[in-house]
Amino acid sequence: MGSIFYISDTLPPASIDEMKAFFANIFHNNNSLIVEIGSGNGHFLVERALKYPDNNYIGTDLLTGRAKKFYSKIEKRGLKNIVVFKGDARRFVWEFLYENTVEEFIILFPDPWPKQRHRKHRLLTAAFINMLKIRLVPGGMVTLATDYHEYRNRILDEFRKDRGFTNIYRNGYSSSPHSCPKTLFQEKYTEEGRDIYYMRFRKERDLR
Protein backbone atom coordinates (compact mmCIF):
# COMPACT_ATOMS: atom_id res chain seq x y z
CA MET A 1 0.00 0.00 0.00
CA GLY A 2 2.99 2.33 0.64
CA SER A 3 1.46 5.02 2.82
CA ILE A 4 4.51 6.33 4.74
CA PHE A 5 6.56 9.08 3.15
CA TYR A 6 9.77 10.57 4.45
CA ILE A 7 9.58 14.33 3.93
CA SER A 8 13.34 14.73 3.57
CA ASP A 9 13.57 11.95 0.93
CA THR A 10 10.50 12.81 -1.15
CA LEU A 11 10.64 15.25 -4.04
CA PRO A 12 7.93 17.88 -3.45
CA PRO A 13 5.51 18.80 -6.26
CA ALA A 14 6.76 21.80 -8.26
CA SER A 15 3.38 23.42 -8.96
CA ILE A 16 -0.24 23.31 -7.81
CA ASP A 17 -1.12 21.02 -10.73
CA GLU A 18 1.71 18.68 -9.77
CA MET A 19 0.49 18.78 -6.19
CA LYS A 20 -3.02 17.76 -7.25
CA ALA A 21 -1.58 14.95 -9.39
CA PHE A 22 0.75 13.88 -6.55
CA PHE A 23 -2.13 13.40 -4.08
CA ALA A 24 -4.52 12.01 -6.71
CA ASN A 25 -1.88 9.38 -7.39
CA ILE A 26 -1.66 8.50 -3.69
CA PHE A 27 -5.40 8.45 -2.95
CA HIS A 28 -6.81 7.58 -6.40
CA ASN A 29 -9.33 10.44 -6.14
CA ASN A 30 -9.48 14.24 -5.70
CA ASN A 31 -11.37 14.29 -2.39
CA SER A 32 -10.80 17.04 0.20
CA LEU A 33 -7.47 17.07 2.02
CA ILE A 34 -7.32 17.20 5.81
CA VAL A 35 -3.87 17.55 7.37
CA GLU A 36 -2.93 16.76 10.96
CA ILE A 37 0.26 18.24 12.35
CA GLY A 38 2.00 16.24 15.08
CA SER A 39 -0.21 13.13 14.86
CA GLY A 40 1.82 11.09 17.36
CA ASN A 41 0.78 7.43 17.00
CA GLY A 42 -2.17 8.40 14.80
CA HIS A 43 -5.02 7.43 17.18
CA PHE A 44 -7.19 10.38 16.27
CA LEU A 45 -6.63 10.52 12.52
CA VAL A 46 -7.10 6.78 11.94
CA GLU A 47 -10.50 6.97 13.68
CA ARG A 48 -11.43 9.99 11.55
CA ALA A 49 -10.35 8.25 8.34
CA LEU A 50 -12.47 5.21 9.23
CA LYS A 51 -15.48 7.37 10.01
CA TYR A 52 -15.25 9.62 6.94
CA PRO A 53 -14.07 7.56 3.97
CA ASP A 54 -14.88 10.40 1.53
CA ASN A 55 -12.11 12.65 2.86
CA ASN A 56 -8.37 12.18 2.38
CA TYR A 57 -6.26 12.42 5.54
CA ILE A 58 -2.57 13.26 5.82
CA GLY A 59 -0.85 12.73 9.18
CA THR A 60 2.58 14.05 10.05
CA ASP A 61 5.04 13.45 12.85
CA LEU A 62 8.63 14.37 13.51
CA LEU A 63 9.51 11.09 15.21
CA THR A 64 10.19 7.89 13.27
CA GLY A 65 8.87 5.55 16.02
CA ARG A 66 5.54 7.38 16.18
CA ALA A 67 5.18 7.58 12.39
CA LYS A 68 5.79 3.81 12.17
CA LYS A 69 3.18 3.00 14.83
CA PHE A 70 0.76 5.25 12.99
CA TYR A 71 1.51 3.52 9.69
CA SER A 72 0.98 0.05 11.18
CA LYS A 73 -2.54 1.09 12.30
CA ILE A 74 -3.32 2.15 8.73
CA GLU A 75 -1.99 -1.12 7.33
CA LYS A 76 -3.86 -3.25 9.87
CA ARG A 77 -7.17 -1.62 8.88
CA GLY A 78 -6.38 -1.57 5.15
CA LEU A 79 -7.27 2.14 4.94
CA LYS A 80 -6.79 3.82 1.57
CA ASN A 81 -7.75 7.38 2.53
CA ILE A 82 -4.89 8.16 4.93
CA VAL A 83 -1.11 8.49 4.66
CA VAL A 84 1.74 9.45 6.98
CA PHE A 85 4.48 11.94 6.25
CA LYS A 86 7.40 11.53 8.63
CA GLY A 87 9.40 14.69 9.27
CA ASP A 88 8.92 18.36 10.04
CA ALA A 89 5.32 19.35 9.27
CA ARG A 90 6.39 22.96 8.75
CA ARG A 91 8.43 21.80 5.80
CA PHE A 92 5.53 19.66 4.59
CA VAL A 93 3.10 22.61 4.67
CA TRP A 94 5.59 24.89 2.99
CA GLU A 95 6.91 22.54 0.28
CA PHE A 96 4.20 19.98 -0.49
CA LEU A 97 1.04 22.09 -0.31
CA TYR A 98 -0.17 25.05 -2.39
CA GLU A 99 -2.64 27.93 -1.93
CA ASN A 100 -6.31 27.13 -1.29
CA THR A 101 -5.89 23.35 -1.26
CA VAL A 102 -6.51 22.15 2.32
CA GLU A 103 -9.93 21.82 3.96
CA GLU A 104 -8.71 21.59 7.54
CA PHE A 105 -5.53 21.62 9.62
CA ILE A 106 -5.72 19.76 12.93
CA ILE A 107 -3.13 20.36 15.65
CA LEU A 108 -3.87 18.49 18.89
CA PHE A 109 -1.63 19.09 21.89
CA PRO A 110 1.33 20.69 20.15
CA ASP A 111 4.43 20.60 22.36
CA PRO A 112 3.96 23.59 24.72
CA TRP A 113 7.66 24.34 25.35
CA PRO A 114 6.78 25.92 28.72
CA LYS A 115 10.23 27.31 29.56
CA GLN A 116 10.71 30.88 28.35
CA ARG A 117 14.02 30.09 26.64
CA HIS A 118 12.44 27.20 24.70
CA ARG A 119 9.40 29.09 23.40
CA LYS A 120 11.15 29.82 20.13
CA HIS A 121 10.55 26.12 19.30
CA ARG A 122 6.75 26.46 19.42
CA LEU A 123 4.89 25.56 16.26
CA LEU A 124 2.19 28.23 16.43
CA THR A 125 4.00 31.41 15.47
CA ALA A 126 2.52 34.29 13.47
CA ALA A 127 4.46 33.14 10.38
CA PHE A 128 3.20 29.57 10.61
CA ILE A 129 -0.41 30.67 11.17
CA ASN A 130 -0.13 32.86 8.08
CA MET A 131 1.20 29.87 6.12
CA LEU A 132 -1.73 27.70 7.27
CA LYS A 133 -4.10 30.45 6.12
CA ILE A 134 -2.53 30.57 2.65
CA ARG A 135 -2.83 26.77 2.27
CA LEU A 136 -6.47 26.61 3.46
CA VAL A 137 -9.41 26.85 1.08
CA PRO A 138 -11.70 29.85 1.74
CA GLY A 139 -13.85 28.86 4.72
CA GLY A 140 -11.31 26.14 5.70
CA MET A 141 -10.68 25.40 9.37
CA VAL A 142 -7.82 25.19 11.85
CA THR A 143 -8.72 22.93 14.80
CA LEU A 144 -6.49 23.07 17.87
CA ALA A 145 -6.29 21.71 21.42
CA THR A 146 -3.91 22.39 24.28
CA ASP A 147 -3.85 21.79 28.02
CA TYR A 148 -1.40 24.64 28.55
CA HIS A 149 -3.22 27.81 29.35
CA GLU A 150 -0.44 30.29 28.60
CA TYR A 151 0.01 28.69 25.15
CA ARG A 152 -3.79 28.87 24.65
CA ASN A 153 -3.68 32.63 25.26
CA ARG A 154 -0.75 33.01 22.92
CA ILE A 155 -2.52 31.08 20.16
CA LEU A 156 -5.71 33.14 20.60
CA ASP A 157 -3.67 36.36 20.39
CA GLU A 158 -1.83 35.29 17.24
CA PHE A 159 -5.04 34.28 15.43
CA ARG A 160 -6.71 37.53 16.51
CA LYS A 161 -3.78 39.56 15.16
CA ASP A 162 -3.74 37.66 11.86
CA ARG A 163 -7.21 39.00 10.92
CA GLY A 164 -7.72 36.36 8.25
CA PHE A 165 -9.67 34.06 10.57
CA THR A 166 -12.93 34.03 12.51
CA ASN A 167 -12.83 32.33 15.92
CA ILE A 168 -15.90 30.10 16.01
CA TYR A 169 -16.09 30.16 19.83
CA ARG A 170 -17.54 33.38 21.19
CA ASN A 171 -15.45 33.06 24.38
CA GLY A 172 -12.31 32.16 22.45
CA TYR A 173 -12.26 28.43 23.24
CA SER A 174 -14.38 25.57 24.49
CA SER A 175 -13.65 23.15 27.31
CA SER A 176 -16.26 20.66 26.13
CA PRO A 177 -16.97 20.98 22.43
CA HIS A 178 -19.72 19.06 20.68
CA SER A 179 -17.27 16.28 19.78
CA CYS A 180 -13.93 16.16 21.62
CA PRO A 181 -11.07 14.74 19.57
CA LYS A 182 -9.72 11.68 21.41
CA THR A 183 -5.94 11.35 21.37
CA LEU A 184 -3.35 9.67 23.60
CA PHE A 185 -2.38 13.01 25.13
CA GLN A 186 -6.03 14.01 25.59
CA GLU A 187 -6.63 10.78 27.57
CA LYS A 188 -3.51 11.31 29.66
CA TYR A 189 -4.33 14.93 30.49
CA THR A 190 -7.99 14.14 31.23
CA GLU A 191 -6.92 11.36 33.64
CA GLU A 192 -4.58 13.84 35.34
CA GLY A 193 -7.57 16.19 35.78
CA ARG A 194 -6.09 18.96 33.65
CA ASP A 195 -8.29 21.47 31.83
CA ILE A 196 -8.27 21.18 28.06
CA TYR A 197 -8.89 24.08 25.70
CA TYR A 198 -10.30 23.43 22.22
CA MET A 199 -10.07 26.16 19.59
CA ARG A 200 -11.38 26.45 16.03
CA PHE A 201 -10.68 29.19 13.51
CA ARG A 202 -12.33 29.57 10.10
CA LYS A 203 -10.47 31.23 7.23
CA GLU A 204 -12.41 34.22 5.91
CA ARG A 205 -14.15 33.48 2.62
CA ASP A 206 -13.27 36.69 0.79
CA LEU A 207 -9.66 37.41 1.72
CA ARG A 208 -7.74 39.60 -0.70
Who's near 35: CB < 8 A, 6+ residues apart? 57, 58, 60, 89, 92, 93, 97, 102, 104, 105, 106
Judge whether 108 and 144 are in contact, CB under 8 Å: yes
Selected binder of ligand SAM within 33, 40, 58, 147 (CB under 6 A) = 40
Residue 4 near residue 71, CB atoms below 8 Å: yes
Residue nearest to ligand SAM (CB): 38
Stretch that binds ligand SAM, among 21-29, 108-116, 129-137, 153-161 (CB under 6 A): 108-116
Position among 27, 96, 105, 109 found at the interface with ligand SAM (CB under 6 A) = 109
Given a contact cutoff of 8 angstroms between Cβ atoms, the answer to whether 2 and 75 are in contact is no
Among 111, 113, 154, 180, binds ligand SAM (CB under 6 A): 111
Reference 165, options 124, 135, 129; nearest CA is 129
Instruction: Please pick, among 111, 147, 195, 206, the residue that the annotation labels catalytic.
Output: 111
Give yes or no for a contact between 145 and 177, defined as CB atoms under 8 angstroms apart. Answer: no
Q: Could you tell me the smallest distance in angstroms from the CB atom of residue 53 to ligand SAM?
A: 22
Residue of 48, 56, 66, 165 that binds ligand SAM (CB under 6 A): 66
| Interacting residues with ligand SAM (CB under 6 A) | 37-40, 60-63, 66, 88-90, 108-111, 123, 183-186
